[in-house]
A = this chain, B = another copy of it.
């Protein structure tokens, strides 16, 4: 990449910082109006947006992009309406900044307040889904942050068109258009350059495959919020109610196998294994789910194939399930500790003491009792939005809503106090 390209990026970051200073002063009312305008504009500019997208889909097909990828890229009227509705919902969420998180007075009379503030400038790196552009820009504006978006190369025209919509709304209300920025080059050197802008960019959120995320973490000097994998487990305890265990198993595996909160490994207490598998096995099979089991599982289910060691802790993201029969709760906990990704793990049991041990011992961002792992999601938790899911333990952990896009500051008010 030419140094003139870096200069352009530096100018963009500088303007984004200036915009973030202004955004930090936006009222909740202003942000609501702004986003409602964006939502309306997506609908009124439908033709333009679809036309830009169509050209791009055409190019992608001509270039031989895989059909699944083309599908992720392609928009239609229904998808656009859903996007506009998504922005309208974000507009209506509670303002996440400005409120007082805590307030107290010290013996020396100093009055302290801990106040929610925006993060500043957020850099989001993602792949070729243009709806991510709209979702992320809305959430960042709602939380008074400026955003730098770097989407996939295939979606560049669509992303430009959506950013234009945001700019039109920002301009209408006299707000700086640099609150929403799009990296207009597909050169990876640009991403690396931005990942070194420590102190100018406050947070990086990579959304995409593990390879993309590892690359970002390796090169970033800016804090990164991410999750690599969702290796979610469901453990069916000996005291499980099968009327709960079977539907939870099917739902966790098959309702949407390609997402991070789908189950990848099923652990069965040996006492209940046979009874459970006789019920659940045929239903999994009906759902076209391949079962990769240990010796005990394969003895019970003739159509199960023998699992390799590498099937445990593997993220299939598909209709494939690893199954293991365990001696007891301890073995299940050890397995989750060893193979899990600290995302979401569930137990099915009617034994409250066993559930308590599981809740205390499993070190994952979400621990479920008698519920499907698929509930691990910002919307399902009632956050009204989700910018991502973090498997790190610092900052936001688990499903991350608007609150994850905020920080806080301490405001200390005195009457001339000095330290002695």
**A residues near B, CB below 8 A?**
21, 24-25, 104, 106, 110, 112, 117, 119-120, 198, 202-203, 217-218, 221, 223-225, 241, 243-244, 247-248, 250-251, 255, 337, 355, 359-361, 363-372, 374-376, 380-382, 392-395, 397-399, 407-420
Q: Which of A244, A255, A407 has the most CB of B within 10 A?
A: A407
Contacts of A248 in B (CB 8 A): 416, 418
- In the assembled complex, the Cα of A110 lies from the Cα of B355 at a distance in Å of 15
Contacts of A372 in B (CB 8 A): 417-419
Contacts of A413 in B (CB 8 A): 355, 368-371
Q: Which of A361, A394, A407, A417 has the most CB of B within 10 A?
A: A394
Contacting pair A244 B415 (CB below 8 A): yes
| In the complex, residue of chain B having the shortest beta-carbon distance to the beta carbon of A255 | B419
> Which of the residues B203, B361, B365, B380 comes within 8 Å of A393, measured between beta carbons?
B203
A251-B418, A413-B369, A413-B370 known; A225-B394 Cβ under 8 A: yes
Contacting pair B120 A393 (CB below 8 A): yes
Contacts of A203 in B (CB 8 A): 393-394
| In the complex, residue of chain B having the shortest beta-carbon distance to the beta carbon of A369 | B413
Q: What are 24 contact pairs spanning A and B, CB under 8 A?
A: A25-B360, A104-B382, A106-B382, A110-B375, A110-B380, A112-B381, A117-B363, A120-B363, A202-B394, A223-B392, A225-B394, A247-B416, A247-B418, A248-B416, A255-B418, A366-B411, A368-B412, A370-B413, A371-B417, A375-B412, A376-B410, A380-B419, A393-B407, A397-B409
- In the assembled complex, the Cα of A364 lies from the Cα of B104 at a distance in Å of 19
Contacts of A408 in B (CB 8 A): 397
- In the assembled complex, the Cα of A223 lies from the Cα of B395 at a distance in Å of 10
Contacts of A106 in B (CB 8 A): 380-382
Known: A355-B413, A370-B414, A374-B419. 4 other contacts (CB 8 A): A25-B361, A223-B223, A223-B395, A370-B415
- In the assembled complex, the Cα of A133 lies from the Cα of B218 at a distance in Å of 29
| In the complex, residue of chain B having the shortest beta-carbon distance to the beta carbon of A223 | B394
- In the assembled complex, the Cα of A415 lies from the Cα of B25 at a distance in Å of 44
Contacts of A241 in B (CB 8 A): 416
Q: Which of A104, A250, A361, A371 has the most CB of B within 10 A?
A: A371
